[in-house]
Each structure stands twice: as structure tokens, then as C-alpha cells.
Structure 1
């Protein structure tokens, strides 16, 4: 992955943050689309939250963060929030798919 370049002004910093946000948000949108698809493959609403899968993802993210020189605790916090939001939306999707 590319590393941050040295900025010469606050505007350079802001421009780079804006550039990255334009990449990050579409990736998050793609991620949630996969999460929502998962609802159709789960037999029960309880199958939406799988603690071992959550911990697997957290462990991977912490490792990725460490490799990139990012604070693993920060990465874990961000991802736990993403996963909680994703689970909430997947539960709603599961309910819609399984209405009687």
C-alpha cells in the first residue's frame, strides 16, 4: 500500500484526506452490500451475529493495522463499529427476507 506523502500545507493534508475518503466510502458501501447478501444464506436471525467470525475479523484487522504502522487498537475500534452497524442492517434485511 502507498504511504502518506509529506504535505507542505494544511490544504495539502485536507486534499489528501478528501482523496482517501473518496476511495474509502465506496469500499465501505461495497462491504455492506456483501453483508446484506449474507442474510439470505442464514437460517435464523441468530445466525446474523457470529462471535467467532467477529473475532476472526478483528484479529485480521489488527494484524493488517500492525503491518501498516497503524495503532491496532484504533483499527479494532473502527472495525467493531463497522461490524455492529453491519449486523444491525443485516438483521433488518434478514427480517424482510423471512417475513411470513
Structure 2
């Protein structure tokens, strides 16, 4: 159920509350991204464009069912996925060097 705010201060307080939850979830997601790097054999499997599109399709559908704007959701997810791919590529490079040593 949506919270109805009567002041800008209430709106900002609720946004701050949600930001805390979002950042906590990003940290959790990042942990799984780090784990995924161990299972991928090369940078192409890290980038996985087909998987990216599967995730985008899934979150657009989820967005519609939850009453969010699918275009905003897609933009946010594309930016987030791109950042996590960079993280995973860096971790994968380190793991590759370690396995060759």
C-alpha cells in the first residue's frame, strides 16, 4: 500500500528510507555478481548480451505488474547491469591471472 505524504519532508524521508533498502539490495546483488565471475570462462561469457536482454524483458514485465514505469526500470537496469559487468570483468581478470600463476 502506498504511503500518502502530506509534506515534502515526508516524501524525502520515505525516499531516504527506500534508498537505504536499494543500496542494501545492490550490495547483495554485487556479492552474487562477484560469485558469478568464478563460473565464467572468458570475458564474452561475463558480458552475456543474451542474458542481459532476458533480465531486461523480465524486469519490464515485473515493472508493469507492479505499477512502475517500464521505461524507467529498463534504463535503471541497463545502467546497473553495465556497472556490474565492469565489476565482474575486473574480478574475472584477477581470477584468470590467479589461475595461471
TM-score range, shorter chain: over 0.9
**What is the 5 A alignment of 1:55-94?**
55-94=53-92
Structure 1 stretches of 4+ with a deviation exceeding 2 A read none
Deviations 1:21-68 (A, max 9, x none): 111100011001101110100111221011111011000110111011
Question: d(CA) in 1 for partners of 2:43 and 2:4?
Answer: 48
User: Residue 20 of structure 2 aligns with which residue?
Assistant: 22
TM-score normalised per structure 1: 0.94
CA distance in 2, matches of 1:72, 1:31: 20
List runs of 5+ in structure 1 lacking aligned partners: none
CA RMSD of aligned residues (A): 0.9
Query: What does residue 2 of structure 2 align with?
Result: 4
